[in-house]
Structure formats: structure tokens, C-alpha cells
């Protein structure tokens, strides 16, 4: 397909786009933030990605855990959320009812709906995270917010980014909140995806490794829709040339959406050459 050709999906949506390889700089950036996502699986991470640990958070009931790190060189506060690692997590994953995004300080379009299990999980740690960030924002007003996560953690990172963007609006001189997800399932409906695309645009990075079946394990037939932009590493080994930037609409038929979900495939356990849960905590 050339850049001038059009692809029409079964939903009668037309994409004027051809996936193109990303730059080496962007590939390094995606790898950098995945190290946080992988480290979130560690019970304790004293120096996430070599940076300052602000808070190691968790909730025993929901079994959600992660950390907040501060990178003073990049001037960032990074919220990393762990993916599924227990039966409790699996039960949250399975609660796929689409519900309104009701959480303190957040106001989304009326028809926006999100995964009930992921929202319940986020709500169990949201207060811990926002309280710690409020202190850090006062101490470090020049630091931007970044959320990251793998698998369910990627979906939680998306919900976290939406919440933090509204609770902590960026000043005009700062880059706004960014979010990076790796192997994340669909998180909400098309209205929610459109909201993410409008508010974050190119600041929302959604990475998929080859035939990882988790990003498509919740089908669009249930009302779900991915946000963009997807970065699809379509073949191994990982590199800038083998990683494609897909259409911003979220369900690019030229990228991973064209592969039927095989569930939790081996590709889900490795991203950008890093095996989950490799810790980067020194």
C-alpha cells in the first residue's frame, strides 16, 4: 500500500496512512521507558532506571503495585504500574464491562466508557499516587508527569495519565503528561479512545510486539477501541527499522489489529529485546 492509497476497515473508517519505521532516537526513548515498566514487577526497586525512588505504592486487596520515580536530568516524575501477576489481577482483567470513568477530579465526555476491572484497580492506588505527586510537584515544579506500564499496567498507565492530566494541568512552559504502554489490552470505548487522541495526540505511545495477542484479546465487537498512536515492532530482532509508526486512529488495519489474537503469546513476555520482568533498579 502506498502513502496515497486508502484502506477501509469493516467499520467503514478510512485511513490515509502507511506505517513507516521510527527514528533511532524514538526507539531508544521507547526502550528507556519500558525499563520502568519492566521494573514495576519488582517488589522493591530502590533506584528505578538509575533514578530516585519517590514512592513504592501498592494495595493488598487489588494486588496493584508500582512506584513513582524522579528523574532530575530529564525533569520527570514517572509513575510505573505493574501488569498482571496474580489471580486477583486475572479477576480484574476478566471484568470487561464498560463503565463510566468515575473517579475524583476527572470529568470525561458523557459517553466515554472504560474497562470496569482496570478502573477499579486504578481507584485503589489513585489516592496514594496523586498525594505523592502533589508534594513532588510543589518541590519540583519544572518536572513533567509520565506514566508507564506493561500489559494491564499499560492500561492502568493510560487511566492514570487521563487522571493526572486533569488533576495536575501543565503550565504553559511545560510539556504535558505523557503515557507509554507496552502490550496493553484495549482500555475503553471509541469515545474514550477519541478523548485520549485529542488530549494527548503524539504524547500517547502504545507499543505492540509482533504477534502479542494481549492488545487484541478484548475484541472491538464488545465496544472496545484502541487509542493511537501504535508503535508496532512487526518482526524480530527489535530495532528502529523493524518498528512502525501506525495511524493515529488506534485501529490501523495495516498494523497489529490485522492479526487475530492468540491470547498471551510468547511475544507478550519480551519487549524491545527486554524480557519481563527484568529489573532496572540500580
212 in catalytic set: yes
143 in catalytic set: no
**Pair 181, 231: CB distance under 8 Å:** no
Catalytic residue among 39, 84, 151, 261: 151
Taking the C-alpha atoms of residue 43 and residue 279, their distance in angstroms, rounded to an integer, is 10
Residues 6+ apart with CB under 8 A from 112: 100, 101, 188, 189, 191, 192, 195
In terms of Cα–Cα distance, which of 116, 228, 142 is closest to 179?
A: 228
Neighbouring CB atoms inside 10 A of 147's CB total: 32
**Pair 132, 192: CB distance under 8 Å:** no
Taking the C-alpha atoms of residue 209 and residue 207, their distance in angstroms, rounded to an integer, is 7
256 in catalytic set: no
**Pair 58, 168: CB distance under 8 Å:** no
Catalytic residue among 212, 226, 227, 234: 212
Catalytic annotation, residues: 151, 212, 268
Amino acid at each position: 500500500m502506498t502513502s496515497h492509497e486508502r484502506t477501509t476497515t469493516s467499520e467503514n473508517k478510512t485511513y490515509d496512512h502507511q506505517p513507516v519505521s521510527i527514528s533511532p532516537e524514538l526507539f531508544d526513548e521507547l526502550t528507556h521507558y519500558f525499563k520502568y515498566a519492566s521494573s514495576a514487577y519488582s517488589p522493591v526497586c530502590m533506584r528505578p532506571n538509575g533514578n530516585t525512588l519517590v514512592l513504592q505504592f501498592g494495595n493488598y486487596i487489588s494486588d496493584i503495585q508500582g512506584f513513582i520515580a524522579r528523574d532530575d536530568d530529564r525533569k520527570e516524575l514517572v509513575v510505573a504500574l505493574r501488569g498482571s501477576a496474580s489471580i486477583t489481577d486475572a479477576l480484574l482483567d476478566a471484568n470487561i464491562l464498560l463503565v463510566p470513568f468515575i473517579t475524583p477530579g476527572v470529568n470525561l465526555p458523557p459517553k466515554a466508557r472504560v474497562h470496569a476491572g482496570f478502573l477499579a484497580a486504578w481507584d485503589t492506588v489513585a489516592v496514594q499516587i496523586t498525594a505523592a505527586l502533589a508534594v513532588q510537584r510543589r518541590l519540583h515544579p519544572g518536572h513533567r508527569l509520565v506514566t508507564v506500564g506493561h500489559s494491564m499496567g499499560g492500561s492502568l498507565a493510560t487511566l492514570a495519565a487521563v487522571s493526572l492530566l486533569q488533576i495536575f494541568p501543565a503550565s504553559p512552559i511545560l510539556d504535558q503528561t505523557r503515557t507509554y504502554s507496552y502490550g496493553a489490552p484495549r482500555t475503553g470505548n471509541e469515545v474514550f479512545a477519541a478523548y485520549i487522541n485529542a488530549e494527548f495526540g503524539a504524547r500517547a505511545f502504545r507499543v505492540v510486539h509482533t504477534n502479542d495477542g494481549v492488545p487484541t484479546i478484548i475484541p472491538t465487537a464488545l465496544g472496545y477501541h484502541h487509542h493511537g498512536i501504535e508503535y508496532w515492532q512487526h518482526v524480530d530482532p527489535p530495532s528502529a527499522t523493524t518498528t512502525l509508526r501506525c495511524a493515529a486512529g488506534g485501529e490501523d488495519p495495516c498494523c497489529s489489529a490485522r492479526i487475530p489474537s492468540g491470547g498471551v503469546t510468547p511475544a507478550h513476555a519480551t519487549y524491545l529485546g527486554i524480557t519481563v520482568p527484568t529489573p532496572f533498579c540500580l
